[in-house]
Amino acid sequence: MGIFLNIIYGNIWMSGSAYSNSEGSLESIICHASQDESRNETQKQPWSKEEIEVALSKLPEGETALCVIPTLHGDALQKVLEEFQSVTINKSEDRKHSTSLPTDEIKQKTTVVDENRAANITIRGQLLAKWPNTCLLISSWLGHVEIVKALLEKGVPVSTRDNDGRTPLHLAACTMSTKIVKELLKHGADPRKWDFEKKYTPLHCAAAAGCVATVTCLIKSGANVNAGRSPLYYAVLNNAVNCVEALLQAGASPNNPQFYRRMPLHVAASLGNVHCIKLLLDHRADVTMETEITKSTPLHLAAENGNAKCTRLLLKAGSKTETKNSSGQTAMHLATVAQSVKTIDMLISADAKVNAEDNEGRTPLHAAVSSARNSSAVVKILIKAGALVNKADKLGYTPMHIAAMTESSRMVMMLLSKGGDVTARTKDGDTALSFIVRRTPKVLSQFKTCLDQAVSLDELSDRNYKLRIDFRPLVPLDGRSETDLMLCLVEVDQGRLIKHPLCESFLHLKWKRIRKFFVLNFLFHLIFVAFFTSFVYTTYSTYKQLSSVLFWPLLGFTCILASKEVFQITYGGICYYIKRWENLLQWSVIVASSLILISPEPWQHIAAVGILLVWIELMIVIGYFPMFGLYVQMFKRVSINFFKFLTAYFCLIIGFSLSFNVLHGKYKSFEDPVISMLKVIIMMSGELEFEDAFFDLKYPGTAHAMLLCFVILVTMILMNLMIGLAVSDIQDIRTRASLEQLVHHVEVIGHFENMFSKLVDYIHACKIIQACREKTLVLPNHCVFHIRPNDPCEKRLPPELIHSLYCLAGEQNMPRPTFCSSTSSRKHSAIPKHSVIRRPQINRIMQDSASCTAMTVINSYRMNSWTS
C-alpha cells in the first residue's frame, strides 16, 4: 500500500516541471475538468480560412473562380465587367443556390457535384454570367468590391449560400470587408441570418474578426447583439476592445452564459484581457458566476494565469477569495500553481485564506513547494502570511514530504528553517526524513550544521565563559514525543548523528528526567525474578510448603506483566511489537510462569528454561541504564558475531559428529547423532576425554586420525579463528557497541515516552498521570541551556560531554591556529581568541578554574603557544 501511495503521489507532485508537462501533475488535475469547457476557446474565429476555402472550392466552378477572381484588376477587370453587363445571368444556377432552407442542404450538395462534373473551363466574362452565385460568395470572401457591386446590380440574390450555409454577408464580415458589407446590406442582406448549423450570424464573424466598423454597420442594420453564442463572447476572445465596447453600448448582455456557462468575463479573465475586463465590469458583469463543470469564477481563471492586474480588478468588483471550484481549490491555490508573487500578494491583501484546503486536503503551500521553478519567494510569502508548514493532506503528506520528493534541497532547508517537521508521517507511516535521506541526502550535512550551530560560546569575562545549548532543533514543534526526531534518525539508518554532542546532551538530560521510572521498572522485574525463582525452587525441592505462599504474589506480578505487554501491543501495533525480540522474551517468561502456576508437575523442564529466560530478561532491563548498557551491548555484539561465524563453519561440526557417531557407536556420548553433535561442540572447548573414548576401538587407526584432524581443524584452528574474529578488535567492538547502545537508549526512551503519551490519552482525567508526563519533558520550559564549563558546581552534564560541547563551540566561534597539529586541533580551537595571546590571563584561568575539562584544554593550548 505504501509503494502504491508513493507512486500516486510521485505522479501528482513530482514531474519534471511539477505543474506543466506531467500527466499526473496538479495542473493536470486542476485543468482536466476544464478541458471540455475551454476546448472551443482555441478556435478564435468561427471558421478557419482553410475550412472556408475548401467549402468555396466545392461550389460549381468554385476552384476556377478562386483562381480567376483574384487576378481581375485594372483593365482586365473593366473588360470583364463590360462583357458581364451585356450578358444574361444563369437563372437556373441562381435558383439552385439561392435557397436558404437547411432541409435542401443534401440535395444542393448533390447538385453541386453534378454541375462541377459537367462544368467546362469558361472565359472570364462567361464565369460571372454562368456562375453568379459562386462568384458573389467568392468575391465577398476575397474582398472584391467591384465584382460584388456588378453581381448585385445584375440581381444576384444576397441570400445565396455555400454548402455550410454561409451567406456573402458572413464571408465579408469574416474578412473585415466593410464596403462589401454595406453594399450587401444596401441590397437587402439579412444581418440576422444564421448558417445551417445555427451557430453564427454575420455579427459573430465581424466581432471575431475585430472590425469595429463592420460591427457598427451590422448593429445599425438590426443585427441581434445577443444572438445565441453572444458576439460579445467572440469579441472578448479575440481581445477586440473596440468591438467589445460597441457591442456593450448597443445593449449586449455581459452576463449571457455561453457553452458550459462560460461568460465573456470568464474568457477575459482567463486570457488576461485587462481592458475587456474593465469594460465588462463597467457594464455590471457578474463576478460570482461559476462555470458548469469546474465551478470556476473569473477570479479563479485570473489567478490560474497569474494575472495580477485582472485579479486586482476582480477583487475591487467584489470577487470572493474563499470561493472554491469543483476540486475545492480557491484562487490562492491556483495563484500558487502559477507562481505569481504579485497575484498572491493581492489575494493576501484581500484576506484570502493561505491555509484553505482543497478536496484532497492540500493547501497552497503544498502546491508552492512542488514547483520545479523558483518558488522560494512564493513559499516565503505564504509562510509569512501564516501558512502552516506542517499541514498534512488526506494522505498525510506535508510540504516537507513534497519538497523532498521533488529533490529540492534548497526548499527542504527553507522549510526546516521555518519549523518544518521531518518526523511527520504519511498515512502509510513514511516520515519526511526518510524521503530526505533518499531524495535529498545533501540536506543531512546541512542538518548536522544546524546541530553544530545550536551550540555557541558566550564570553562573560576574562575568566568565565558560558556555553549556550539550544535543543529546539531536536524537538519537533508539533510533535508529542521529544525523541521523535532521534527515533526517525535511527529508523532511516542515520543513527551516527545521535553521537553529536547536542543529541547526547539532550539524551542525558532526558534520561535524568525519566530514570526514576526505569528504576521502578527494574525493581518490578527484580521482585518478579525473585518470586519466580523462589517459587520454582520451592516447588521442585523439599520446601514445597513455601510454594503456596509464593503462588499469589507470583500470579499478581505475572498478570501485571501480561497487562503491560497487552497495552504495548494496543498502542504500538502488533507489527511494531513483534519486531522487538525482547517482547518475545517477555511472553516466553509469561507463558512459562503461567504453565508452572497452573500445574507445576508436568512442566519441570519449562520451569528450568523459565529461570534462565527470566534472568536473561533481568540482564536486558539492567542494560537500559546507560552505565551498564555499553557492556550489555558489547555482549550482544560479540554473541551475534560468534554465532554468525559458528553458522558458517557448522558443516564441519556436523561432519565430525557423524564420523564419531559411526566410529564410536558403543560409547554413550556418540550413540545418538544429536547427542554426538552436542558432544563435538563440547569437545571444541578442549574437553576431549581421550582415554575414555579412544581405546578398545575396532578401527583405532582411523579413529585416532579422525581425532587428530578434529584437534587441528576444530579445537585449534576453528575455535581460535572464531574467537579471534569475534573479539579480535575489541576497541572497534566497543566503538560500534557504543553507537548501538546509544541507539538502543534512544529507542528505549522513545518507547517509554510514547507509551506514557498513550496512557495519558486513555486516562486524561487522571492528574497524577498528567503530572508524571510533564515531569518527563525537557522542553519547552528549558529550550535553551546555559552551562559554565569552569564552574565546579556544574553537574547537569558529565565532564566529557561538556568537553565535547566546549570544543564544538570553539570550532564555531574562532579559526584554528596555524601551528596546531591535526591530532590536537579540535581541542586548541575551543579556546577563545584572547587566550591565544595573553599568557598571564591563561595562568589566572588555570588558577581559578576547578573544571578538569577546561584545565586540559588550556594546558594543551599553552604548551603549543609557548613552543611556537
What does the domain layout of the chain look like in residue ranges? 41-178, 638-728, 799-867
In angstroms, the CA 712 to CA 706 distance is 10
* Residue length of the chain: 868
Q: What is the pLDDT of residues 237-278, one digit of tens each?
A: 888 899 999 999 998 888 877 766 788 899 899 888 899 999
Mean pLDDT of the chain: 77
In angstroms, the CA 237 to CA 340 distance is 23
Sequence-distant contacts of 664-673: CB under 8 A, at least 24 apart: 664/693, 664/697, 664/703, 667/692, 667/693, 669/693
Residue 476: cis peptide before it, omega within 30 degrees of 0 = no
Signed CA dihedral, 603, 606, 612, 616: sign only:
negative
Residue type (1 letter), 230: S
CB-based contact 468:455 (threshold 8 Å): yes
Q: What value does the mean pLDDT take over residues 689-717?
A: 76
More confident residue, 6 or 734: 734
CB-based contact 57:66 (threshold 8 Å): yes
For 514-663, strand residue ranges (E) read: none
Q: Give, in order, the Cα–Cα distances in Å from 483 to each of 496, 506, 521, 769.
A: 15, 9, 20, 19
Confidence tier at 216 by pLDDT (50, 70, 90) = very high
- The whole-number pLDDT of residue 66 equals 86
Helix axes 547-572, 581-598, angle to 10 degrees: 150
Q: What value does the mean pLDDT take over residues 850-859?
A: 38
Q: Which residues pair with 787 in a beta bridge?
A: 467
Q: What is the pLDDT of residues 545-576, one digit of tens each?
A: 777 888 889 999 999 999 888 887 877 667 77
Q: What value does the mean pLDDT take over residues 783-787?
A: 80
More confident residue, 126 or 419: 419
Sequence-distant contacts of 444-449: CB under 8 A, at least 24 apart: 444/494, 444/497, 446/409, 446/413, 446/416, 447/416, 447/497, 448/497, 448/500
Q: What value does the mean pLDDT take over residues 681-708?
A: 74
CB-based contact 653:681 (threshold 8 Å): yes
What's phi and psi for 464, nearest 5 deg? -130, 140
Residue type (1 letter), 43: Q
The 3-class secondary structure across 245-266, one letter per residue, is: HHHHHCCCCCCCCCHHHCCHHH
Residue 770 C-alpha cell reads as: 498528567
Q: What is the pLDDT of residues 138-155, one digit of tens each?
A: 889 998 888 888 888 888
Question: SS3 for 189?
Answer: coil
Q: Which residues pair with 854 in a beta bridge?
A: none
- The whole-number pLDDT of residue 362 equals 93
Question: SS3 for 60?
Answer: coil
C-alpha count within 13 angstroms, C-beta hemisphere, residue 245: 8
**Residue 232: pLDDT over 60:** yes
Q: Which of 107-121, 202-216, 706-720 has the highest mean pLDDT?
A: 202-216
CB count in 10 Å sphere of residue 91: 11
Confidence tier at 650 by pLDDT (50, 70, 90) = confident
In angstroms, the CA 517 to CA 650 distance is 44
Q: Give, in order, the Cα–Cα distances in Å from 210 to each of 43, 194, 232, 259, 823.
A: 14, 19, 11, 21, 82
Confidence tier at 690 by pLDDT (50, 70, 90) = low
Q: Which residues pair with 785 in a beta bridge?
A: 469
Helix axes 341-349, 376-384, angle to 10 degrees: 10
Name the least confident of 276-290, 502-516, 805-819.
805-819
**Residue 64: pLDDT over 70:** yes
- The whole-number pLDDT of residue 202 equals 92
More confident residue, 365 or 574: 365
Residue appearing with cell numbers 548498557:
629
- The whole-number pLDDT of residue 316 equals 92
What share of the chain has pLDDT > 90, as a percent?
18
- The whole-number pLDDT of residue 297 equals 92
The verdict on pTM exceeding 0.85 is: no
Torsion of CA 98, 101, 107, 110, to 10 degrees: 50
Q: What value does the mean pLDDT take over residues 783-807?
A: 82
